[in-house]
């Protein structure tokens, strides 16, 4: 069944139950609610701006969007882009696009004007729906971005180069448009993270979307009484498809527009969240704040919180060990995936496998995995090779890029570009990105292994290991280290700590700097490489 069927089912079965809640700690607006109604622990505590919609209203808003798009000429197979921050309108618009039979094309909200223009052309976008935060960027290239396509604005004070979404949907019917959608129809285009240049457009069928939604509900046993806290951006496959576990279960979800430790814990407490997906930096920040005694866990109502899971980047085992010290009763899962595999879960640890923390896990629901050498032959168990995955969530192709598609899809297998090993129990461990492997003096050095080791040092908050050009060795290992707030550390201390590593793995160059991560928590290593002068091997003073 297409994923839109779950929304329509929920609207029939649970019409008056809350589906989505939006919390924005940056605004203080109680909308007439009393402090008690927000389950505050003490009177006068700050209350974020809060909105909610039921499943019936969710479905009706999606229908109005769909009927509006159809009235503007959108038909099956057309492409409609979304460029918006997380908000209560995001998912109804996404599902409205799907209900027309068109292809939903979410844009990264970090794109600059040139990237917005590039992606609209690459995906052959017919309509771009955007929010108020992007007026300036679109205005820079409005003539080119708007050439041959419609620009629709969601918000107050519509700019002159766009049409108002609010006005366009006002008179549209709230009943489903009745377009027949099957799992074989194209459903979405997602973009690669673009860490090596401009992003690729990744085309998926509705089959992929349904697979990801059902898999999430199964992996995390999401039930009707669960409440999922969603913090990462919805344009990314990770946030959207983790939320879709709630869609399949017919349970509530909270969209939190804030990432500070206290904001996260307050949202869990006030909204009775049971499942939280965190990125590594946010989990670290929560633990660091607790260690600094900025607040106590007893300040919040957290007994209902049952599951914390992490994905989007390698997870240091030391982080989960620290987490379990503060939250010993939490279930835990790690999720691995790519936009090419419809996001997270093609490999996952599993709630019952906390003893294997450090592994990315085993093949997910309806997925298969293998590890191959540079010739595509499977390696022996325990040897390093490229991880390949196969299942119903594999992309159809890179849109308008047959060469890249042929390099990545082979006989139904998706070649991930990630280096991994498999242990004797069948668990997969991520070693590093194929492109990030450092070759120094003929030795292959895997940065993730060094990063995991250095993170065990008490003073270290975050670390990134990269290769820098070296005339003698080819590359030499450099560690960029971010120290915890309020602490100091010297190069000599790092060198001494790294004596626990094999000699060839020890960083030859050490810098202290904040670690840049993208919106999904991945370390932006290309930015770090550009930050340092390859000839003199010194940090540029102007920052990242």
Kindly report, residue by residue over 66-93, the tens digit of the pLDDT. 999 999 999 999 999 999 999 999 999 9
Classify domain 4-318 by CATH number. Answer: 3.40.50.12780
As a whole number, mean pLDDT of residues 26-50 equals 50
Euclidean distance between CA atoms 87 and 97, whole angstroms: 16
Nearest to 416 by CA among 477, 347, 364, 465: 347
Q: For CATH 3.40.50.12780, list the domain ranges present in the chain.
A: 4-318
Asked if 186 contacts 203 with a C-beta cutoff of 8 angstroms, the reply is yes
Which run of H or E residues covers position 187?
strand 186-191
Give the mean model confidence (pLDDT) for residues 257-267.
Answer: 94
Instruction: Kindly report whether the global pTM for this prediction surpasses the value 0.85.
Output: no
What's the whole-number mean pLDDT along residues 104-124? 93
d(CA 211, CA 366): 9
pLDDT at 469: 80
**pLDDT of amino acid 45:** 47
Q: Count of residues for the chain? A: 544
pLDDT of residue 315: 78
Q: Is the pLDDT at 520 greater than 80, yes or no?
A: no
Instruction: Identify whether the C-beta of residue 247 lies closer than 8 Å to the C-beta of residue 274.
Output: no
437-531: CATH topology is GMP Synthetase; Chain A, domain 3 (3.30.300)
Measured CA angle at 241 (ends 239, 246), to 5 deg: 100
Token digits of residue 117: 């223009």
| 488 vs 532: CA distance, rounded Å | 22
Q: 281 by DSSP, 3-state: which?
A: helix
Rank 219-223, 429-433, 487-491, 528-532 by mean pLDDT and report only the highest. Answer: 219-223
Question: Which pLDDT does position 541 carry in this prediction?
Answer: 40
Q: Tokens in use for 173?
A: 């019917």
CATH 3.30.300.30 in the chain, residue ranges = 437-531
User: Which tokens sit at 438?
Assistant: 């450092």
Largest CA distance in the chain: 70
């Amino acid at each position: 069944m297409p994923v839109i069927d779950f929304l329509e089912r929920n609207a029939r079965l649970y019409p008056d139950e809350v589906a989505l809640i939006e919390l924005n700690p940056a605004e203080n607006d109680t909308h007439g609610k009393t402090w008690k109604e927000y389950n505050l622990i003490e009177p006068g505590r700050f209350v974020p701006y809060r909105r909610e919609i039921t499943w019936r209203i969710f479905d009706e808003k999606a229908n109005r969007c769909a009927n509006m798009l159809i009235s503007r000429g959108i038909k099956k197979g057309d492409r409609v882009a979304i460029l918006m921050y997380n908000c209560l309108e995001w998912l109804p618009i996404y599902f409205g696009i799907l209900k027309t039979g068109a292809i939903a094309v979410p844009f990264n909200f970090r794109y600059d004007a040139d990237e917005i223009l590039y992606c609209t052309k690459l995906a052959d976008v017919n309509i771009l729906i955007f929010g108020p935060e992007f007026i300036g960027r679109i205005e820079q290239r409005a003539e080119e971005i708007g050439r041959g396509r419609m620009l629709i604005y969601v918000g107050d004070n519509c700019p002159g180069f766009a049409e108002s979404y609010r006005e366009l949907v006002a008179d549209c019917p709230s009943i489903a448009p009745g377009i027949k959608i099957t799992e074989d129809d194209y459903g979405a285009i997602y973009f690669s993270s673009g860490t090596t240049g401009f992003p690729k457009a990744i085309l998926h069928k509705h089959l992929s979307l349904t697979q990801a939604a059902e898999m999430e509900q199964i992996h995390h046993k999401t039930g009707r009484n669960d409440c999922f806290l969603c913090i990462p951006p919805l344009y990314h496959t990770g946030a959207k498809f983790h939320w879709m576990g709630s869609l399949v279960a017919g349970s509530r979800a909270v969209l939190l527009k804030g990432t500070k430790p206290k904001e996260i814990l307050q949202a869990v407490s006030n909204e009775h969240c049971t499942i939280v997906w965190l990125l590594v930096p946010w989990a670290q920040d929560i633990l660091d704040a607790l260690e600094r005694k900025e607040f106590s866990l007893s300040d919040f109502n957290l007994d209902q919180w049952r599951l914390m899971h992490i994905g989007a980047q390698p997870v240091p085992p030391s982080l989960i060990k620290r987490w379990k010290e503060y939250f010993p009763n939490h279930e835990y899962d790690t999720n691995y995936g790519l936009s090419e595999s419809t996001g997270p879960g093609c490999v996952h640890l599993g709630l019952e496998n906390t003893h294997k923390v450090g592994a990315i896990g085993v093949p997910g629901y309806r997925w298969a995995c293998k590890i191959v050498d540079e010739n595509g032959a499977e390696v022996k168990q325990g040897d390093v090779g490229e991880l390949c995955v196969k299942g119903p969530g594999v992309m159809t192709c890179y849109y308008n890029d047959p060469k890249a598609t042929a390099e990545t899809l082979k006989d139904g297998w998706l070649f991930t570009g990630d280096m991994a090993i498999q242990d004797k129990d069948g668990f997969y461990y991520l070693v590093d990105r194929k492109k990030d492997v450092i070759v120094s003096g003929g030795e292959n050095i895997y940065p993730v292994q060094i990063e995991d080791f250095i993170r065990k040092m008490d003073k270290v908050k975050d670390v990134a290991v990269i290769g820098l050009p070296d005339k003698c060795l080819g590359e030499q290992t450099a560690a960029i280290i971010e120290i915890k707030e309020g602490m100091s550390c010297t190069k000599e201390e790092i060198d001494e700590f790294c004596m626990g590593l094999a000699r060839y793995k020890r960083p030859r160059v050490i810098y202290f700097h904040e670690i840049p991560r993208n919106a999904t928590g991945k370390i932006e290593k290309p930015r770090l490489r550009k930050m340092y002068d390859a000839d003199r091997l010194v940090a540029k003073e102007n920052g990242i």
